[in-house]
């Protein structure tokens, strides 16, 4: 029974990402205008945040400050979601990359 649920969850995740890829990337034609640099470096912001969170969280947990860590993390996450548009920053960086590569040619 547990294996069946896991299979259903995995299938749901794959289908969900497949639908999102199709609607947000392929059907909109974004794949035609996105630069390779943008696509390659897009996940690194999340990876950096994840690693910093794990390191700081483990330090705070080792000192017994688990609740404080959760509060700080939640506030930082809310701040970044409300005030910073990462997609806009990545697109600006990709456009700058394209301009600089055109200038060198």
Based on the domain organization, do 88 and 40 belong to the same domain?
A: yes
pTM > 0.75: yes or no:
no
Based on the domain organization, do 15 and 40 belong to the same domain?
A: no
Based on the domain organization, do 20 and 47 belong to the same domain?
A: no
Cβ-contact 56, 69 below 8 angstroms = yes
- Closest listed residue to residue 56, CA positions, set 71, 73, 75, 44: 73
Specify the pLDDT at position 1: 67
Based on the domain organization, do 42 and 25 belong to the same domain?
A: no
Specify the pLDDT at position 101: 60
Q: How many structural domains comprise the chain?
A: 2
Based on the domain organization, do 23 and 40 belong to the same domain?
A: no
CB atoms within 10 A of CB 94: 19
Based on the domain organization, do 21 and 47 belong to the same domain?
A: no
Q: Return averaged pLDDT per consecutive 10 residues of the chain, 105 residues in all.
A: 83 90 87 80 82 85 83 85 78 69 59
Specify the pLDDT at position 104: 59
Based on the domain organization, do 9 and 53 belong to the same domain?
A: no
Based on the domain organization, do 51 and 86 belong to the same domain?
A: yes
Based on the domain organization, do 40 and 82 belong to the same domain?
A: yes
CA–CA distance, 60 with 62 (Å, rounded to integer): 5
Query: Which domain does 85 fall in, by range?
Result: 35-105
């Amino acid at each position: 029974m547990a294996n069946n649920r896991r299979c259903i969850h995995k299938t749901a995740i794959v289908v969900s990402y497949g639908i999102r890829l199709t609607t947000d990337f392929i059907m909109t034609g974004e794949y035609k205008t996105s630069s390779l640099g943008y696509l390659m470096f897009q996940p690194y912001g999340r990876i950096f945040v994840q690693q910093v969170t794990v390191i700081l969280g483990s330090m705070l947990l080792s000192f017994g400050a688990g609740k404080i860590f959760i509060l700080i993390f939640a506030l930082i996450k809310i701040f970044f979601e409300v005030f910073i548009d990462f997609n806009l920053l990545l697109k600006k960086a990709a456009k700058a990359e394209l301009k600089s590569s055109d200038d060198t040619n």
